[in-house]
Structure 1
Amino acid sequence: MSPAASLSTIGFDADDTLWQNEHFYRLTEQRFAALLADYAEPEQLSGRLLEAEKRNLQLYGFGIKGFTLSMIETAIELTAGRVSAATIGEILAAGREMLSHPVETLPLVRETLEQLAGSFHLVLITKGDLFDQERKLAQSGLGELFDAVEIVSDKNIATYERIFGRHGGPEHSMMVGNSLKSDIVPAIQAGSWGAYIPHDLTWVAERVEEPVGEPRFRRLGHIGELVGLVAEIAESRR
């Protein structure tokens, strides 16, 4: 498949690509560490919490609800079942606050989407809790700029083959996101372009090596560079 195949569809990740997300997880984890300071050092607690999150992904999926349940499970394990009802209540309150936190759109997102809308078929492809992702999209005010919205339980090769298959074909599509593991590598393996935009905070479970040898892989400094990349790809077809 030629890396210069024409581009008609652009898929966008949401969390930490269009708006802040991991930042609120980190703040909540700090709050969680303070609650359990008598039982574990912050680094030890983070490790135990990460183990619980990975273990529970198949049960709860991605998102704040699964994160909250994993915090409760970790608290029970670390305290050998002695965690107080008041502490569990604090953990639940922290989860509720995350679910109601205002959406903070990242710089240059709206301007970039507005420049691409109309010329390309824009698809939001996000994973996680359905209600929470719908809430964030509505609050972001970006929904009108997308031609389609796909909220999925996970992102893998089959996900992109299926979604881009409905929206022009993988070979004519690009996925834009901050996660190499979920947004970029599987999209490229499905036959699409992958535009990687690193975020200062990325969950450790989403980190893999950059596919630097792939002709359809691009790394951008920020989302504002996407318009230029799309123009470059279009020029290469002439």
Structure 2
Amino acid sequence: MLVAAAVCPCPPLLVPEVAAGAAPELAAARAACADALGVLAAARPDRLVVVGPAARGGRGPHAEGTPGSFRGFGVDLAVRLGRPGADPAGRELPPSLAVGAWLLESAGWSAAPVTGLGVGEAFPADGCLDTGRLIAAQPGRTALLVMGDGSACRSLKAPGYLDERAEAFDAGAARALGTADVAAVAALDEKLAYELRASGRAPWQVLAGAAESAALDGTPLYEDAPYGVGYVVAAWS
């Protein structure tokens, strides 16, 4: 049973050591993420699943204790998913889950065991929904930390350049996530999301599948598009 969820963006720039001199620019987003994690802890879950976008090598489940790092971003900073351990497959966390692990470590998370799930950005909506249903069907009280960004096409300097459709897409996604509108999240256009480089679409739809019978309320905590990328933070409880 899903009892709570937090939706957070996943840029490595959330990590101050990675952002360096630009760290203050995402201070409000970090604070909102901390508030969302507080909602998860208050729900007293039996387990937490961190879901985020991943390239091929990082897809699938990640056991508690799986390590990750930000060395690929020029920073010798290591993180770990929950309590010490190792991924039986010998993999490291994909960047989105490494950011999630960093958020949890920063918050001093100890409320429940933590596992991870990397999903492909092009994973079909039906598959995402089914994955969420399977997560919610497992015994006990489950919470989700859902990592993912909106469109990367909000400005001329954005990673995907400017696309006039991006602002409306992000506004609709933020509204759906901020109000825990499960049907609206499930209905997000996967083709448009892919064209707009919105990495959060698949993880958000995993959340929608998990929340179908949960009757959770949403609280919007942050929405902005620094660097031309849509970021949203919300809590469901």
If the length of structure 2 is used for normalisation, what is the TM-score? Answer: 0.35
More helix as a share of residues: 1
Q: Which has the larger radius of gyration?
A: 1
More strand as a share of residues: 2
